Amino acid sequence: MKIGSILENQNVECRIAITPEVVKKYTSLGIEIYLSKNYGSHLGITDNEFTELGVNIIDDENKVLSISDVIVQLGMLSDDKISLLKENQTIIGVLDPYINKEKLEILAKKKINLFSLELLPRITRAQSMDILSSQANLAGYKAVIESFANFEKAIPMMMTAAGTIPAAKVLVVGAGVAGLQAIATAKRMGAIVFATDVRMASKEQVESLGGKFLMVEGSENLETEGGYAKEASDDFKKKQEELLHETLKKINIVICTALIPGKKAPLIIKDTMVNNMQTGSVIYDLAAIQGGNTAFTEVDKIIEKNGVRIMGESNILNKLPVSASNLYAKNVFNFVDNLFDKENKKININLEDEIIKKTLIK
């Protein structure tokens, strides 16, 4: 079996789906790897590093696509690449069916197998393949680093002969994987950390990391069976708004991570709340690409409102592409390993396997 991958659009995505570290794992299964020329050069990985491991480097990326049985990518292929694909090929990546519906329909009509990894079920057996968790972990860490770099005061409490500098107060909105990593990172750097989430299960996790959980009075548990947050009721939103309005007056840095799969990000921090924050405060909105959790978020811009800086990037992981690629490549290999029929050396779409069934787009 042949697995191939080509470079993503470098203006959008710097990560890669196959790293030297996972090549040996693929070849140990008897799988051949085909990559486009200079596949990892932007990450400091030369073509020689790949070829020494037995990878086939091809000058023409169109040829990589045409000869591969399985194509692994980060995102959706462009229209001109889709036209090159043929029946029974398989694509594995973050295909985002909510946004790429038309492209996926075209691919399905061509009888191409489509697996979107963000649809993985939240079960123990799928943890090693969970790209949302591995990437969100890094995003939560980096959001804290970026926001602290834009905050013009010290983060930890410092006692000096000239006086005491108080510790910065951080609020993390959304205590999923990204939020929990943001809490842990901010706490390690000496901040006082608060967090809020619609899922009651988050309270214990937040407190175990040293954060203080802010709970809306009479809260309902807004968690789906799959472990994701679901949309809150109007009554909950009103109570949450009142709680945040008062809390934000004393907060220096806010990390927003609240997302609902397949929907626009919930608007949590309203314009009136931002206007009541202290001058010099910073908001980093990890939900920017899905509309943002704040009223003023603009993708890839730093917006200043009433002395508050609001940041949000289209892909924060482009600032950690080596680490992010390493984790993503391992997730993808583990998914392929589960999909691969080792006896017949080909993929086996076993719909009795929950992992395969939930990620397959029909």
Q: Locate 103 and state its tokens.
A: 């492209």
**Which member of 127, 208, 233, 314 is catalytic?**
127
Please state, in angstroms and rounded to a whole number, the distance separating the CA atoms of residues 64 and 35.
6
SS (H, E, C) 56-76: EEECCHHHHHHHCCEEECCCC
Active-site annotation holds for 228: yes
The stretches of the chain forming alpha helices (DSSP H) are: 20-28, 47-51, 61-67, 79-82, 101-109, 131-149, 177-188, 202-208, 234-247, 271-275, 321-339, 354-359
Distance between CA atoms of residues 254 and 269, nearest Å:
10
Q: Is 122 a catalytic residue?
A: yes
Token pair belonging to 152: 């013009």
Tokens matching residue 213: 């959980």
Catalytic residue among 66, 122, 219, 323: 122
* Encoded amino acid at 298, one letter: E
Query: Which of 47, 69, 228, 323 is flagged as catalytic?
Result: 228
Residue 278 bears catalytic tag:
no
Catalytic residue among 133, 147, 181, 205, which?
Answer: 133
Give the amino acid at 278.
Answer: Q
- Laid out side by side, the sheet with 301-305 consists of 212-213, 192-196, 169-173, 253-256, 282-285, 308-312, 301-305
What residues contact 259, with CB distance under 8 A and at least 6 apart? 174, 176, 229, 265, 287, 290
| Catalytic residue from among 26, 130, 135, 284 | 130
Catalytic residues, by residue number, are 122, 127, 130, 133, 228
